[in-house]
Structure 1
Amino acid sequence: MTEPVVVIGAGPVGLAAAAHLAERRLEFVVLESGPSVAAAIDEWRHVKLFSPWRYDIDGAARRLLEEAGWDEPDLDVLPTGGDLVDAYLAPLAKTPQLADRIRYGAEVTAVTRVGFDRVRTVGREDAPFLVRLGDGDEILASAVIDAAGTWRRPNVLGGSGIPARGEAEISDAIARALPDVLGRDRARFAGRRTAVVGAGHSAATTLLELGELAEQEPGTEVLWVVRGSDQARTYGGGEADELPARGALGLRLKKLVQSGHVELVSSFRIEAIARTTDGRVELVAGDRRVVADTVVNSTGFRPDHDMVGELRLDLDPILGSTRALAPLIDPNKHSCGTVPPHGVDELTHPEPGYYAVGAKSYGRAPTFLLATGYEQARSVVAALAGDWESARDVQLNLPETGVCSSNLAYGSADEADAGGCCGPAPQTVDAPTSRGLATGIGGGLLTLIETKPTTQSSCCG
């Protein structure tokens, strides 16, 4: 191959793909839209993961780091998002094999074939990919591994999949998921009334932080707005959860609701959003109204397929994953614990050489596990190297856990939060603070599992 493999995104899955490409001695370049590695994670660096370090490191990445004399963190400690960046991803990006291959501030705006739109066929497979950047620069590629994630494309607040009436006009009053309530963003929430919309782990984490803030700052009020009527899945497995940090999260949230410190507003499908005469925000569902100073959008995320619109993709019409992967991850039928192992075959599109991996590969399904994303990257890179035996030897060893978060309090996939990553249960981990989280946001970011030789999948998020 004369042109390099282009990896889009320098998050955990993108850098895992880069590590495998380096081990296979394939030419590659990583394009990261942010100013630094894992820029999306950096936005929620205050959040603690559920899984300890021993489960948060990709195999190929570990080998590169060890070769560079990496100082391995305490494997039994629960890292924050910031720890994940500072102690793992940033050092990985500086290894000799990766350092000169990552371009920052390189936003991909389009991917196509040189000289070919979607309609033209003859000679298509022989044409290199053309990757256009936001600054107008263009890169030719032999293959594209799209690990861009979904963090930049949050779902809307509207209960029918499109923005609620007036949603765009009050965007300044809507905070994105996982604000730093007790730190950087404290002034926005202290002594004010906040409505958190969504039923996943990101919503739960924010609600717990707001509950803690309410104890410190008089006048702080917290509302939890959900479309469903049963929050059992959000509360999770409690003491039965093999991830103590996650189980404690659900128990603490349930206690806050039962005590009245968090006001639960259920069966509320937002139809319209308006500014009140006193400058507050009003959420409307039929004849019901919810008024708050700030709204936190924790409704999940969706993939951006616009930039690959001229490629021939076989997307499932419901989830936006590949058609082959959709029945394996459908959250109407599966939790993340029942998603079977999958790799290059399930990720292949009619456009040879283009693969979406990580959270983006799952489309709108909230059942993504970072461990799965690592194995996707390994399988795809093996295929690009021509090692089809390894590419198709997809292996996952995912442990039993408590209640999965796949559909949470919602009734269908497009209503579910994008949260839902998990990892094996640490044997000696204290109950977490309210800042614990496991989710598949952004580039498929949290609580991964180092894979082992087995084809069994029995994990949940």
Structure 2
Amino acid sequence: MTDTTELPVVVIGAGPSGLAAAANLHRRGIPALVLEAGDVAGAAVREWAHIRLFSPWSELVDPEAAKVLADAGWEVPNPKRYPTGGNWAADYLQPLADALGTVRFGHTVTGVAKCGRDLVVDSGREDAAFTLHVTSAEGDRHIAARAVIDASGTWSGPNPLGGDGLPAAGENAHADRIVHRVPDLTDAATAARYAGKHVAIAGTGASAKTALITFTNLAREHRGTRISWLVRRPTIGTAFGGGQDDELSERGALGDHAKAAVTGGPTTTFTGFRTAGIEAHGENRLRLTSFDGQTLDDVDEVVVLTGFRPDLGFLSEVRLDLDPVLQAPRTLAPLIDPNVHSCGTVYPHGAAELAQPEHGFYLVGMKSYGRATSFLALTGFEQVRSVVAEIAGDHAAAARVDLALPESGVCGGSGDFDEPEAAAGGCCGPADQTAVIPVP
């Protein structure tokens, strides 16, 4: 038997969910240590600093984090305003990390295991401390923990252009012409890269809609700029979202603006385009080919916004029970599976759904969603509140999970693979999303 109660809880990642977890631990008096690979808080968020969120400040600040910040004299942002990613990182995440004082920047977790035990060993496993293998400027070291909360997100794992989940033939060879982020076209050098060019945009999520809008604006300023929108589904369906039916008004407006950009701008839409290959074509241009034989010629640049996937490589020695489709915790997966529903409805879930066979290990935040999308900060805040309560031994608080998310105004699943979406244009009716999960 090993006494681990004096060890800290280690949180991986100093993003919104990771820092919220640390704030909850701090408020409960539990020693915590946050390991962040980047040099600043919200390093991933800062990579889309130019993009405005469609959630207001009132939904972007964890309640316990607000208390930590209040003690440090934090100036509360206007709750009705919509910050950019840069605002969120600089005005909330970094001050929170500074106030907590438990974040170690430049510390990359390369592995998590049970002390002295590989994946196969049962003996003494549950009582053994976790060992985190960490690389930093000081070299490699091990850090012991009583529990681990993995809030490392999915930003480091963008999905490829290839329509079968693997890089398309030639995708790696032409990586210098492909980006997996929404380019910041307010930057002169970045805008110059795309101005007057033929740009292919792949994807239908919020990032893709943002890109369609910004590139349409670029086309208005620079003649000759062309946009080809690659949609894997046979129809556009509900790609533009619920519009006025969306309870997040800015999310609905984003879809409306994207629709206007596509219908009124220099955009050609290709549906059913699941990219199989990319090759050189003509004079310094590219040709994209889909699995069904469609071709798109004379492409200069490709912007791939097809979602993300979790990095599970450094968790190879942790016993996980993940859904084979979404790579999310098995109990959570049916609640967020886009094949089943797309209403934006996420039923209340917390420690019970996020726990893994490795006692004391939890996936939270965007990483808990695996390959699913539509994650909101509010979800992460409630997840970590429940998880920290469970770690603290407050099982009643962990079981009482309240989660009321704004409806997206889009109803139904994603439809059959080669058929239109099940409820194109439909809208979800009111649903009671605030509930109490009983103690099992």
TM-score greater than 0.5 by the shorter chain: yes
Moved more, 122-131 or 330-339: 330-339
1:355 aligns with 2:362: yes
Change (3 A) 1:327 1:283: same
**Which residue pairs with 1:245 in the alignment?**
250
1:203 aligns with 2:204: no
**Which residue pairs with 1:77 in the alignment?**
81
**CA distance in 2: counterparts of 1:322 and 1:242, whole angstroms:** 27
**CA distance in 1: counterparts of 2:379 and 2:27, whole angstroms:** 20
Q: CA deviation at 1:240?
A: 2.8
Query: Is the CA contact (8 Å cut-off) linking 1:312 and 1:350 kept in structure 2?
Result: yes
CA RMSD of aligned residues (A): 2.1
**Superposed CA offset, 1:169-205 (max 9, x none):** 1111111222212326212211211111111110000
**Which residue pairs with 1:275 in the alignment?**
280
**Superposed CA offset, 1:397-435 (max 9, x none):** 22344226984x9949xxx9xxxxxxxxxxxxxxxxxxx
Q: Which structure 2 residues correspond to residues 156-235 of structure 1 after superposition, within 5 A?
A: 156-183=160-187, 185-235=190-240
**Which residue pairs with 2:117 in the alignment?**
116
**CA distance in 1: counterparts of 2:207 and 2:172, whole angstroms:** 22
**Superposed CA offset, 1:69-97 (max 9, x none):** 111111111111111111111111111xx
**CA distance in 1: counterparts of 2:61 and 2:393, whole angstroms:** 25
Q: CA deviation at 1:290?
A: 1.4
Query: Is the CA contact (8 Å cut-off) linking 2:343 and 2:408 kept in structure 1?
Result: no
Q: CA deviation at 1:130?
A: 1.1
**CA distance in 1: counterparts of 2:293 and 2:174, whole angstroms:** 21
| Identical positions, percent | 47
- Given the alignment, which residue of 383, 388, 403 partners 1:381? 388
Q: Which structure 2 residues correspond to residues 101-112 of structure 1 after superposition, within 5 A?
A: 101-112=102-113
Q: Secondary structure at the match of 2:49?
A: coil
Moved more, 179-188 or 223-232: 179-188
**Which residue pairs with 2:424 in the alignment?**
none
Query: Is the CA contact (8 Å cut-off) linking 2:343 and 2:407 kept in structure 1?
Result: no
**Which residue pairs with 1:455 in the alignment?**
435
Query: Is the CA contact (8 Å cut-off) linking 1:146 and 1:355 kept in structure 2?
Result: yes
**Which residue pairs with 2:134 in the alignment?**
133
**Which residue pairs with 2:294 in the alignment?**
288
**Superposed CA offset, 1:346-402 (max 9, x none):** 111110011010111111111422211111111111111111110111111223442
**Superposed CA offset, 1:75-127 (max 9, x none):** 111111111111111111111xx12x101111111111111111100101121
**CA distance in 2: counterparts of 1:308 and 1:183, whole angstroms:** 38
Q: CA deviation at 1:338?
A: 2.7
Change (3 A) 1:199 1:168: same
Change (3 A) 1:122 1:19: same
**CA distance in 2: counterparts of 1:102 and 1:15, whole angstroms:** 9
Q: CA deviation at 1:335?
A: 2.5
Change (3 A) 1:383 1:65: same
**CA distance in 2: counterparts of 1:319 and 1:152, whole angstroms:** 17
Change (3 A) 1:316 1:351: same
Change (3 A) 1:21 1:453: farther
Count of residue pairs brought into register by the alignment? 415
Change (3 A) 1:4 1:133: same
**CA distance in 1: counterparts of 2:359 and 2:224, whole angstroms:** 57
- Given the alignment, which residue of 323, 327, 337 partners 1:320? 327
* Structure 2 unpaired stretches of 5+: 422-431
Query: Is the CA contact (8 Å cut-off) linking 1:336 and 1:369 kept in structure 2?
Result: no
**CA distance in 2: counterparts of 1:364 and 1:294, whole angstroms:** 25
Matched letter for residue 398 of structure 1: L
**Superposed CA offset, 1:198-228 (max 9, x none):** 1111000011000001111122111111111
Q: CA deviation at 1:246?
A: 2.0
Query: Is the CA contact (8 Å cut-off) linking 1:272 and 1:283 kept in structure 2?
Result: yes
Q: Secondary structure at the match of 1:180?
A: coil
Q: CA deviation at 1:150?
A: 0.2
Matched letter for residue 250 of structure 1: G
Q: Secondary structure at the match of 2:255?
A: helix
**CA distance in 2: counterparts of 1:390 and 1:352, whole angstroms:** 19
Query: Is the CA contact (8 Å cut-off) linking 2:403 and 2:434 kept in structure 1?
Result: yes
Change (3 A) 1:238 1:17: same
Task: Pick 1 or 2: higher relative contact order, CA cutoff 8 A, min separation 6.
Answer: 1
1:346 aligns with 2:326: no
Change (3 A) 1:12 1:301: same
Q: Secondary structure at the match of 2:238?
A: helix
**CA distance in 2: counterparts of 1:387 and 1:304, whole angstroms:** 30
Query: Is the CA contact (8 Å cut-off) linking 1:5 and 1:143 kept in structure 2?
Result: yes
- Given the alignment, which residue of 95, 109, 123 partners 1:91? 95
**CA distance in 2: counterparts of 1:222 and 1:258, whole angstroms:** 12
Moved more, 194-203 or 330-339: 330-339
TM-score by length of 2: 0.90
TM-score by length of 1: 0.86
Query: Is the CA contact (8 Å cut-off) linking 1:229 and 1:266 kept in structure 2?
Result: yes
The runs of 4+ residues in structure 1 deviating greater than 3 Å are 404-407, 409-412
**Which residue pairs with 1:40 in the alignment?**
44
Q: Secondary structure at the match of 1:239?
A: helix
**Which residue pairs with 2:427 in the alignment?**
none
Matched letter for residue 173 of structure 1: R
Matched letter for residue 237 of structure 1: G
Moved more, 378-387 or 321-330: 321-330
